[in-house]
Amino acid sequence: MAEQVSRLPPLPDPLPAAVEELFAERIKRSGRILNIHHTFGHAPKLSWASMQMAMALRFETLPEIVTVASRASSSALVTS
């Protein structure tokens, strides 16, 4: 007897509009839909908020933090 892996039911077919929009945005940004995205499809509002935060950290905030941190470490090397 095959063991059931997922505890969640499959997403409905056809997908709700909110999930379609979410998946379209994921494909646009990363080119694919991972299993975790299917799981998040059960809670599209949470998934959308999570994606916005991840993309902001990845593409908007992180370079600024890295620049500030590298400047701080460079100035520490110069003054020591």
Task: Please report the pLDDT score of residue 32 as a whole number.
Answer: 92
Q: 44 near 15, Cβ under 8 Å?
A: no
**Distance between CA atoms of residues 30 and 9, nearest Å:** 25
DSSP 4: P
What one-letter code names the amino acid at 71? R
The pTM (predicted TM-score) of the whole model is 0.60
Task: Please report the pLDDT score of residue 9 as a whole number.
Answer: 87
How many residues comprise the chain? 80
Per residue of the chain (80 residues), give pLDDT as tens: 566 667 888 888 999 999 999 999 889 988 999 888 889 899 989 988 988 888 787 777 755 666 665 666 565 555 54
Task: Please report the pLDDT score of residue 56 as a whole number.
Answer: 81
